[in-house]
Amino acid sequence: MTELPLTPGPPENPPPPSVVVLGRFQPFHRGHAYMLEFADSWRVKNMPNASLVVAVGSSNRPENLRNPWTHSERSEMIYRWLESSSIRDSPIIIPIPDIDDPPNWVSHAELYHGGPGVFVSSDSHSIELYSNSNWPVVEIPMEERDRLEGWRVRETARMMSTIDDLRAVSEVLSPTIPESVISLMTENGYLRRLAFLGEGGEPVG
């Protein structure tokens, strides 16, 4: 197995203890929007002096249908959505490379997003990793998780990637992807890219 490059490197000064959410955001969808709004609402009520940190994972994965967009493009999706969101204090967005070593993931991620604050997530695997590393955890109750699974959202986007009718594209994608993100994806060719990755569909399940 080819070793993944650790790019980008960790910041010289990671954030102080914060409210941290983690995702791949491939692409940023309505489930992610709910997660960020939930985490920020919890932060305002419980840790108002702390920052909300959005950790963008898999920053070092090569481009393929599972990872079509760079960490910079995914951060751009989040920033675009934030412009019309209810979140008033700008989150800190930090890319984190994968290491394919789950037991050491949290200590690796702490170099980027800082040491134990509070981890907010709906993902049971991530919750377990952070809990085992002595992070306080807030679990997000998620509805419609099946509909908002990343691979389902990507496959729907891939089916629309060659359609030039922007109204039709928006009609199909807007139930799962915020309109502001759809606009960004169509304006910058992020959606069209899916038509040329050529791996075939992602496995169901």
Same domain as 159, residue 121: no
Strand partners, 119: 20, 137
Answer yes or no: is 202 within a domain. Answer: no
Decide which of 120, 139, 158 is a domain's last residue: 139
Answer yes or no: is 104 within a domain. Answer: yes
What pLDDT, in 10s, does the model give residues 104-145?
999 999 999 999 999 999 999 999 999 999 999 999 987 666
Answer yes or no: is 10 within a domain. Answer: no
pTM: 0.92
Number of domains in the chain: 2
What pLDDT, in 10s, does the model give residues 148-171?
788 999 999 999 999 999 999 999
Domain that holds residue 192: 150-196
Same domain as 173, residue 103: no
Same domain as 155, residue 110: no
Q: What strand order describes the sheet that includes 19-23?
A: 92-95, 52-56, 19-23, 118-121, 137-139
Under 8 Å between Cβ of 113 and 51: no
Same domain as 98, residue 41: yes
Q: List all residues 6 or more positions away from 48 whose beta carbon is below 8 Å from its beta carbon.
A: none
Same domain as 164, residue 126: no
What pLDDT, in 10s, does the model give residues 177-193?
999 999 999 999 999 99
What pLDDT, in 10s, does the model give residues 15-56?
999 999 999 999 999 999 999 999 999 999 999 999 999 999
Q: 19: closest CA among 59, 58, 63, 50?
A: 50
Same domain as 179, residue 111: no
Map tokens 């679990």 to a residue: 139
Scanning 47-192, the segments in alpha helix (DSSP H) are 71-82, 105-113, 124-132, 150-159, 166-173, 179-187
CATH number of the domain that residue 55 is part of: 3.40.50.620
